[in-house]
Structure 1
């Protein structure tokens, strides 16, 4: 059964929430970062499991107390990197969770101003482009009759990886070739469309567990493309990021957050069954528990805060003109931290 059934009303509510957050920030001005307060935006899927764990076990609060600080933590559910970036720039949140593609976009646009950079990875996960049309064996087989669902057209990490794959196949000038048949649909709704069939959506570039549900529940569903194939191996596609102000003015809160994420990563790795139960509870999910455990235990998945293999996407985005500044090292677009220093 699909994890969540989304309706048009659901999408409108998310749009209204994101718009409200941005409007509030514009009216009041960006809120100053403050020690002892942490507002986090998350999205959908197992890729956000570390956030589910730190919320369930109050790990930020735990590590804050160890540092002599009481931290009030709030979580906001959004869909799409654009909504997350809007909320972050409005000052409505302190930390955004989204794909590494949106991170490069906001990093490039805020250099010398808000100074947004990465905080941590949420782990390595292969993202699959899944199609329910048997004739689609590769992206070269997609036609004007197909519609590819992504979280945000042109800017989400799925969309950026699809552009990168297009550039490899057709050349850099054609990197956006498949944007015109892409549509912005939240993962739960896109999954329902792939499983049911008979809609305009014939492909979905998703993330776990949605892609796994599609493959398990529709015999015609198959993998057309893996993000790892495009990125050249295991990679951190989903990350957390914040502003220079948060990093500079809330050092204890920042450190407690990283410590909490690191503890959560170890917990998930060592306790996959407990982690699965936390995810099901947090997302009010009806996903098959065995399927969820299969996702968490997938040998291609690793839960860790250290980013891996992210630089290549940023350099591709610069090469095709999607961002103005070329990232040359992790420290260009990630804040300095012993937790992430060995990343790539």
Structure 2
């Protein structure tokens, strides 16, 4: 009798869920409505994270995708735990890593999403280089000082005008969303240049009288990651299976894009509610300079510049310091 009671008690204990090891049942992922975030759009449409989580024994988890504008909003939402995965340009991730490294709020990169050039276009035939900008000119970009375009502009100014003139063009910059920047460039009144991203930059280049004067790959001297995904160490450590599932889902989404660019273009137009034509999006996806990949590129170019110019107070020793171990075996730089 006593033995039967002990066995029954043991069975009851085994049937109780291990709450200490339970992972989150709901996850919120933030993205932006640009072509660089296409892998996350594919993940959403095909429920890839739910599929990968189920394959790891997590059952059906709730996944919510939200749209936020800019790196600052992403970082605020991540720190407040309103989202678990943030996505955007490289500088906001590096900035938050620098501020939180070694603390209970530590944030690191999950993965890169792509490598693609950013272009600055002008409507002024007199502007052939940065030396031609005058005080009356205005340069539109997504966010003054902190956006990846703003950092690239400082890099370009340092390269072309000299280190002492790195910030000379900052006074000409104004914050406008990608669509508003394009509209202002086309209007030809106050805005004389627009530093933007695909597909806006390609739409602008189609317009007679609009020319490209800067390419971010030329500024860095190599292809570079445009968009990354980052998360808190607290969440990743507490949810290892969800984090692994996220990485697997992201890789699967990138594989889907690579396998069928035409279908991927249609998905982008549908999910981003972008009025661009399908042929243009497909052309961008087939551009040899555009690659969807989780392998980070040119990270050192970013963080060395940001540290040297005091945009960040601490610098990684190597690119892997910025990312969780998921990527450490990859041939990044």
TM-score scaled by length of structure 1: 0.86
1:327 corresponds to 2:316: yes
Aligned to 2:243: 254
1:302 corresponds to 2:291: yes
Aligned to 1:95: 85
Aligned to 2:8: none
Identify which of 112, 116, 122 aligns with 1:125: 116
What displacement does 1:169 show? 2.2
Aligned to 1:199: 189
Cα distance in 2 for partners of 1:339, 1:272 equals: 28
Cα distance in 1 for partners of 2:131, 2:106 equals: 38
Cα distance in 2 for partners of 1:192, 1:117 equals: 36
1:315 corresponds to 2:304: yes
Cα distance in 2 for partners of 1:192, 1:208 equals: 15
What displacement does 1:162 show? 0.9
Contact 1:35/1:251 (CA < 8 Å) preserved in 2?
no
What displacement does 1:338 show? 4.5
Contact 2:320/2:327 (CA < 8 Å) preserved in 1?
no
What displacement does 1:269 show? 0.9
1:283 corresponds to 2:272: yes
Aligned to 2:10: none
What SS does the aligned partner of 2:243 have?
helix
What displacement does 1:328 show? 2.1
1:132-151 correspondence runs (5 A): 132-151=123-142
Cα distance in 2 for partners of 1:94, 1:173 equals: 40
Identify which of 11, 30, 34 aligns with 1:41: 30
1:1-344 correspondence runs (5 A): 35-69=24-58, 70-113=60-103, 114-194=105-185, 196-216=186-206, 218-338=207-327, 341-344=330-333
Contact 1:167/1:175 (CA < 8 Å) preserved in 2?
yes
What displacement does 1:330 show? 1.4
Q: Which has the larger radius of gyration?
A: 2
Cα distance in 2 for partners of 1:72, 1:173 equals: 51
Cα distance in 2 for partners of 1:190, 1:164 equals: 21
What displacement does 1:340 show? 6.2
Unaligned runs of 5+ in 1: 1-32
Cα distance in 2 for partners of 1:340, 1:147 equals: 43
Cα distance in 1 for partners of 2:301, 2:284 equals: 25
Contact 2:26/2:62 (CA < 8 Å) preserved in 1?
yes
Contact 1:258/1:339 (CA < 8 Å) preserved in 2?
no
What displacement does 1:198 show? 2.6
What displacement does 1:55 show? 0.6
Unaligned runs of 5+ in 2: 1-21
What displacement does 1:34 show? 5.0
What SS does the aligned partner of 1:178 have?
helix
